[in-house]
């Protein structure tokens, strides 16, 4: 019973990873029978652009938190080997049935920590609950700004120190900028997609789980460089590979 074994293995793996707090596959469903996955890496071709430093002196709390590790923009975050972090990968074409419509029950977390967003990019499924928390001893306001024409409605909530989490979800696929008006440098993204997704880790690696066998178009989204697509075919229980390379500008 190979598939059962794999299922159990996947379940165990998933649990391990969840416990490990790996943000990349948070929110993925437990693997179902016969489902495969898409893995790969996203790299930057060329030298990573210089990320401007952030002057946090307006808020002493933020400045102190970054006394030894000055804050900087996170528009392009590339590792030593050229791996691009914060790239969202999702299946933009080919999905159908429950793979398309099932909504993960995991609740990804968007933290306001040391006056930056952790993670900088939070991917999620349509309708999936996510949580915004604050670890800071300074007041933030969490202000996503989607286009209401899509069906996603902007909102704006305060999160002073000790504030309870804000739990929300989105109605439509959209790349939604998030900002804190109190700390204008705080800028992040909610990437709302339909179906399975993954976000690259610091080495640029990703794994999209719970992909039923079939042919798909995988899209990689990076906030500065936009999107790229690739066609992949996933065989039952197998892993397909799709590597992406964005050219540095």
Partner 1 sequence: MRRTLRKWSPFIAAAAVFALAPALSAQLTQYDLEPRSGMESHIGNITGHAKDAKADYRRFCVGCHGELGDGNGENFPWLDPKPRDFQLGIFKCRSTPTGTLPTDEDLSNTLARGLDRSNMPQWSNLTKQQRADLVAWVKHFSPRWVSEKPGTPIQIPAEPEVTPERIKAGRDVFAKVQCWKCHGVEGKADGPSAATLTDDQGRPILAFNFTEGARPKCGSTDQDLYKIFMTGLDGTPMPSFADNIKPDEAWDLVFYLKALEPQKSKEKAIAKQLGLKPVDPNAPPPSGQ
Applying CB under 8 A, which residues contact partner 1? Answer: 58-60, 90, 92, 101, 103, 126-127, 137-139, 141-143, 145-151, 153-164, 166, 171-175, 177, 181-184, 191-194, 219, 221, 223, 226-227
| Smallest separation (angstroms) from partner 1 to the CB of 121 | 11
Query: What's the sign of the alpha-carbon dihedral 20, 26, 29, 35?
Result: negative
Which of 6, 61 has the CB closer to partner 1? 61
The number of residues making up the chain comes to 249
| Smallest separation (angstroms) from partner 1 to the CB of 220 | 10
Tokens 């590792």 — which residue? Answer: 79
Which of 231, 238 has the CB closer to partner 1? 231
| Smallest separation (angstroms) from partner 1 to the CB of 182 | 5
Which of 53, 151 has the CB closer to partner 1? 151
| Smallest separation (angstroms) from partner 1 to the CB of 244 | 14
Secondary element (H or E) of residue 62: helix 60-65
| Smallest separation (angstroms) from partner 1 to the CB of 173 | 5
- Encode burial over 62-78: b for 16+ CB neighbours within 10 A, e otherwise: bbebbeeeebebbebbb
61: left (phi over 0), alpha (psi -120 to 50) or beta: alpha
Which of 10, 152 has the CB closer to partner 1? 152
Residues contacting 145, CB < 8 A, separation 6+: 154, 176, 177, 178, 179
| Smallest separation (angstroms) from partner 1 to the CB of 73 | 12
The span from the CA of 96 to the CA of 164, in Å, is 37
The span from the CA of 239 to the CA of 216, in Å, is 13
SS3 letters for 72-97? ECCCCCECCCCEECCCEEEEEECCCC
Which of 4, 50 has the CB closer to partner 1? 50
Structure tokens at 162: 């000790």
Q: Which residues pair with 179 in a beta bridge?
A: 143, 187
Which of 81, 135 has the CB closer to partner 1? 135
| Smallest separation (angstroms) from partner 1 to the CB of 154 | 6
Which of 3, 141 has the CB closer to partner 1? 141
Most distant CA atoms of the chain, gap in Å: 61
């Amino acid at each position: 019973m190979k598939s059962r074994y794999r299922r159990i293995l996947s379940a165990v793996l998933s649990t391990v990873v969840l416990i490990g707090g790996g943000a990349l596959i948070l929110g993925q469903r437990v693997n179902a029978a016969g489902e495969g996955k898409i893995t790969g890496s996203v790299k930057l071709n060329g030298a990573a652009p210089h990320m401007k430093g952030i002057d946090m002196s307006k808020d002493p709390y933020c400045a102190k938190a970054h006394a030894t590790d000055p804050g900087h923009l996170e528009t392009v975050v590339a590792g030593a080997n050229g791996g691009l972090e914060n790239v969202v990968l999702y299946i933009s074409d080919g999905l159908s049935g429950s793979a398309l419509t099932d909504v993960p029950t995991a609740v990804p977390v968007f933290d306001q920590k040391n006056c930056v967003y952790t993670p900088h990019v939070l991917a999620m499924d349509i309708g999936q609950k996510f949580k915004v928390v604050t670890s800071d001893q300074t007041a933030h306001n969490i202000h996503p700004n989607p286009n209401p024409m899509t069906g996603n409605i902007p909102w704006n909530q305060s999160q002073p120190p000790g504030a309870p989490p804000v739990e929300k979800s989105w109605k439509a696929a959209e790349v939604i900028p998030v900002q804190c008006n109190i700390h204008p440098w705080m800028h992040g993204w909610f990437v709302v997609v339909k179906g399975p997704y993954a976000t690259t880790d610091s080495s640029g690696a990703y794994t999209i789980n719970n992909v039923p066998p079939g042919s798909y178009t995988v899209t990689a989204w990076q906030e500065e460089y936009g999107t790229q697509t690739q066609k992949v075919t996933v065989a039952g229980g197998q892993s397909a590979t799709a590597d992406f390379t964005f050219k540095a500008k």
